Amino acid sequence: KTGKVLYYNNPMWPGEAHSLKVEKILYRGKSKYQEVLVFESSTYGKVLVLDGIVQLTDKDECAYQEMIAHLPLCSIPSPNTVLVIGGGDGGVLREISRHRSVETIHICEIDKLVIDVCEEYFPELYVGFGDPRVQLHVGDAVEFLRNAAEGMYDAIIVDSSDPIGPAQELVEKPFFEMIARALRPGGVLCNQAESLWLHTHLIQDMLAICRETFKGSVHYAWTSVPTYPSGVIGFLLCSKDGEPVNFMDPINPIEQQEGADNAGREIKFYNSEIHKAAFALPSFAKRELSTV
Ligand code: AAT
């Protein structure tokens, strides 16, 4: 209710609740896949919540969307064909639009309601869909990848929700095998990979699957997103056998791109220093992830 604090409890972070004060509920609905809620918060602007989990807020979406897009795209020379899984808000598309070398952007989002709601309430993210290079496919990512041509993509960005609900299959081995098949040799994957503080086992499982599946390099990077559980979120970066990729070194630096996205917005969070720093892990995490 307006004026109340919204608490998010979830089995992904048992015993913890995160809260934001609600100024106004703007939208509440239900699709075939999930509950969709948009509200105006008192401190983070508008907030998109799916099945009770914060997906983005106006204030800190930049950290997540810029990192998940530019970590992979700045790690390879001249990315041309890119696939986004999830990302129905358009924010990742908006970030990809900064890259002049990109000619084709496919996006596969399962839930049309997310797209429609973001068109109405998050114009600064939805603007990503306005890029003429974007081709939208509404459907399940597993089905989409099954039909994707082999070796088609230079980069695949998996901007998917937590693995409860429609994104369940997106952390399992067959999914990663389909991703690897759809990437060209030396192509790269950047996958939303949860929190170092909360999801050690999930990260270890994903890392183990990716090390088996991607014969190039596999690394974990992370960043700060205050409204995500524990305030951080990670990314798994993987490259397929072929031209070697050194993720730690952004050889296609963002500083050499045009400087604005397709809405004319300057980059807010990401830069080449943050890119390099994102791979530095706390000692406990180094130990936990080295046992995989
Ligand atoms: N950029 C916003 C951040 C997100 S949104 C995740 C999107 O993935 C949602 O729009 C959801 O509908 C979509 N999605 C979920 N499952 C599938 C699927 N099987 N195929 C295609 N799209 C899917 C992620 C925030 C992460 C939050 C971490 N706690």
The tens-digit pLDDT sequence of the chain (292 residues) is 566 666 667 888 888 888 899 999 999 999 999 999 999 999 999 999 999 999 999 999 999 999 999 999 999 999 999 999 999 999 999 999 999 999 999 999 999 999 999 999 999 999 999 999 999 999 999 999 999 999 999 999 999 988 888 888 888 999 999 999 999 999 999 999 999 999 999 999 999 999 999 998 999 999 999 999 999 999 999 999 998 999 999 999 999 987 778 778 899 999 999 999 999 999 999 999 988 8
Q: Is 237 helix (H, G, I), strand (E, B) or coil?
A: strand
**Residue 224, helix vs strand vs coil:** strand
pLDDT number for residue 2 = 60
Determine the distance separating the centroid of ligand 1 and the alpha carbon of 212, expressed in angstroms.
25
Task: Give the whole-angstrom CA distance, residue 137 versus residue 123.
Answer: 20
The question of whether 159 is a catalytic residue gets the answer yes
CB 38 within 8 A of CB 26: yes
The sheet carrying 183-192 orders its strands as: 134-138, 104-109, 81-86, 153-159, 183-192, 232-239, 218-224
Beta-bridged to residue 189, according to DSSP, are 156, 238
| Residue 176 near residue 109, CB atoms below 8 Å | no
Which residue CA neighbors atom 1 of ligand 1 most closely?
A: 87
Question: How far apart, in whole angstroms, are the C-alpha atoms of residue 166 and residue 141?
Answer: 10
Out of 111, 140, 159, 162, pick the active-site residue.
159
- For the Cβ of 160 lying below 6 angstroms from any atom of ligand 1, the answer is yes
How many alpha carbons lie under 13 Å from residue 189 in its C-beta half-sphere?
35
Cα(231)–Cα(99) distance, rounded to whole angstroms? 28
DSSP 157: E
Q: What is the pLDDT of residue 66?
A: 98
Q: Tell me how far apart the alpha carbons of residues 237 and 189 are, in angstroms, rounded to a whole number.
A: 6
By most ligand atoms within 8 Å of CB, the mutation choice from 84, 110, 157, 176 for ligand 1 is 110
Do 47 and 25 meet the contact criterion of CB atoms below 8 Å apart?
no
Question: d(Cα 141, Cα 146) in Å, to the nearest integer?
Answer: 8
Q: 110 in ligand 1 pocket by Cβ < 6 Å?
A: yes
Tokens 């490259």, residue located:
239
Candidates 156, 136, 141; CA nearest to 110 is 141
* Predicted local confidence at residue 7, as pLDDT: 65
Ligand 1 centroid from CA 216, angstroms:
26
